[in-house]
Amino acid sequence: MPKKYHITTKAAPLDLEYVFKFKIVRGENCINCGKCTKVCIYEAHKRQKDDPRKMADPNTVLCRNCFRCIQECPRGALEKSLDKDFTNIGGAFWKPDMLISLWKQAEDGNVPVSGAGYRGPFTGTGFDSMWTDMSEIVRPTRDGIHGREYISTVVELGRKLNHLTFGSDGQLVSNVPDSVALSIPILFDIPADNLSSNVREALVKAASEINTCIIMPVAEITLEVEKYSNNIIPCITPMAIDTYEAVLKKARLVAIEYSDAMLNDFQGLKEKIKKLSRALTIIRVPAVKDVEDIITKLAHNGAEIIHIVADYRGKELNGSAGTDVRRLKDIIRAVHLRLVEDRIRDEITIIASGGIAMAEDVPKAMLCGADLTAIDIPLMVALGARIYEEPRKLLIFPEGLGKIPLSIVTQRMVNLMGAWHAQILEMMGAMGIREARRLRGETGRAIFFKEIDDDTFGNLFRKREDMSL
Ligand code: SF4
Ligand code: SF4
């Protein structure tokens, strides 16, 4: 049995001001009876350290919103109210609740519990419009997640052969291409600009600790992070290859921004890199309207790994306007199916990014046809950053973040990935899937709301519409 992959999480509180959903306030009429310390299983209520006769301020970060302390306080001394800053953050895609959830996961690495149950809608846009078939949850195969059987989240990046050829003497004749294995199907993507040096170094260190890689602009690979070269994917334009020869030599993977010229001469570019380095190439292709055509051509031209990059809300770039704009879920499905039709899907690796906001989006993207995903904004949110969508994309970091010790900043990102890994294992166990590689394109385990809605009610409503004509 392979050694179990484990992400070690531990509490890493960020002693900075950031927003929470509710404010809990202890009123003057509190008699310090301590009942709230007993009823809150999340330990949000504690006595003051220096004077245990008195209660400390409630720790809102730990609150899971169950309302038990409010109900059981004998004096009605606790008041919970919606924080007005909370309602202003995020936007239509990055909903405030998502940010709170990410902050909490980064705090201690635990899987979030809503406490008061889920009261939201059961469908939405993008990945929220698909569900996963968790029917294995009631079957013995679910034992896997309790430790008796191993569930592997390992994925491999690289070009693969669609068959092996053996000589008449039984020896392998095929030249098997190199690949890079990652323990989790999540890469860290190019981080935001203007990051302080401790945050930049922490990102690289966290990627190394969880055995994944981070894609970084080649010019930002400084001496402090060079020692992690195994976990850094330099991102480069074809023009800059000669300038950064030394960096490319050490890399296992190199990301190249797509340009139309690659459609004609990708082989030439690949050979140029192969002369300098053994690194595998990732082509970063923006998720534009005809992205499936571009990717199919690149795949036939020998591309090894292709990274589909949608916008930060998981939308198609420069695509159709209004409600017709495709979401990452639909883009991945279109690319995957086109490659399947062309019988070349098994030969290349597809990474998907843009709008991967929560742990469940990772297996969902893979069920749609991606081999793995890449994330950026959730890592920044883990550090207490707020995102605003309107009137334009804005990421605001808490003041003083640059002075927080490297170990805390790193641990928060490791915690986030620990919580996501635990959730991915839960989902895979409940779907009866033992290896992350098998998630790719496994739409038999996915339920798409539109399809089921059409199947169930489509005719009914169509008939009514016809009758009204
Ligand atoms: S239960 Fe109410 S009265 Fe008792 S310590 Fe908590 S807030 Fe104060
Ligand atoms: S609402 Fe629930 S989780 Fe929050 S502080 Fe009170 S008892 Fe704890």
Report pLDDT digits (tens) over 236-255. Answer: 999 999 999 999 999 999 99
Is 50 exceeded by the pLDDT of residue 469? Answer: no
pLDDT of residue 119: 67
Q: How far apart are CA 10 and CA 112, in angstroms?
A: 15
What's at 141, amino acid-wise?
Answer: T
CA 190, CA 187: separation in Å to the nearest integer? 10
How do strand 180-182 and strand 155-157 relate by DSSP bridges? antiparallel
How confident is residue 149, by pLDDT bands cut at 50, 70 and 90? Answer: confident
Helical packing angle, 197-209 and 406-431, nearest 10°: 40
What does the block give as tokens for 468? 């009204």
Of the candidates 372, 340, 428, 434, which has an alpha carbon nearest to the alpha carbon of residue 158? 372
pLDDT of the residue at 399:
86
Which ligand minimizes its atom distance to the CA of 61?
Answer: 2
DSSP 166: B
CA geometry: angle 80, 83, 86, nearest 5 deg = 140
pLDDT at 468 over 70: no
Distance 63 CA to ligand 2 centre (A): 5
pLDDT at 409 > cutoff 50: yes
- The chain-wide mean pLDDT, for the chain, equals 89
Tokens at residue 416, please?
A: 């986030």
pLDDT beyond 70 at 273: yes
**Nearest protein CA to atom 2 of ligand 1, as residue:** 73
Give the distance (Å) from ligand 2 centre to CA of residue 104: 14
Cis upstream peptide for 391 (omega within 30°): yes
Helical segments of 89-217, H only: 96-108, 197-209
Q: Where are the beta strands (DSSP E) in 96-213?
A: 130-132, 155-157, 180-182, 186-188
Name the packing angle between helices 328-341 and 361-368 (round to 10°). 30
Tell me the CA–centroid distance for residue 81 and ligand 1, in Å.
Answer: 17
Window from 122-126, 153-157, 275-279 with minimum mean pLDDT: 122-126
Task: Quote the DSSP letter at residue 227.
Answer: T
Give me the pLDDT at residue 376, please.
95
Residue nearest to atom 6 of ligand 2 (CA): 69
pLDDT, mean of residues 416-437? 93
More confident call, 295 vs 177: 295
- Most confident option among 17-26, 81-90, 248-257: 248-257
Q: What's the average model confidence in pLDDT over 38-60?
A: 92
Tokens 């004749």 identify what position?
173
User: Which range, 224-238, 252-266, 356-370, 420-434, has the best average confidence (pLDDT)?
Assistant: 356-370
The pLDDT score that the predictor gives to residue 141 is: 55
Cα distances from 82 to residues 86, 129, 303, in angstroms, run 7, 28, 50
**With bands split at pLDDT 50, 70 and 90, how would you rate the model's confidence at 432?**
confident
Tell me the average pLDDT across 88-108.
89
- The ligand 1 atom at the shortest distance from the C-alpha of residue 75 is 3
pLDDT-based confidence at residue 82 (cuts at 50, 70, 90): confident
- Residue whose Cα lies nearest atom 2 of ligand 2: it is 66
* Residue whose structure tokens are 């299983």: 41
* Per-residue buried b or exposed e for 318-337, using 16+ beta carbons within 10 Å of the residue's own CB: ebeeeeebbbbbbbbbbbbb
Please state, in angstroms and rounded to a whole number, the distance separating the CA atoms of residues 469 and 452. Answer: 26
Judged against a pLDDT cut of 60, whether residue 466 lies above it is answered with: no
Atom 6 in ligand 1: residue holding the nearest Cα: 36
Q: What confidence tier does 322 reach under pLDDT thresholds 50, 70, 90?
A: low
In this prediction, residue 236 carries a pLDDT of: 94
Ligand 2: residue whose CA is nearest its atom 4: 63
Least-confidence region, from 143-147, 167-171, 388-392: 143-147
Give percent of the chain with pLDDT exceeding 70: 92
Residue 41 CA: nearest ligand 2 atom is: 8
Distance CA 164, CA 132 (A): 34
The DSSP secondary structure of 338-387, one letter per residue, reads HHHHTT-GGGSEEEEESS--STTHHHHHHHHT-SEEEESHHHHHTTT-EE
Q: Which residue's structure tokens are 């639909």? A: 330
Confidence of residue 115 (pLDDT cuts 50, 70, 90): low
Ligand 1 within 6 A of CB of 55 = yes
Residues 60 and 45: their CA atoms lie apart, in Å, by: 9
Q: What is the mean pLDDT of residues 154-178?
A: 90
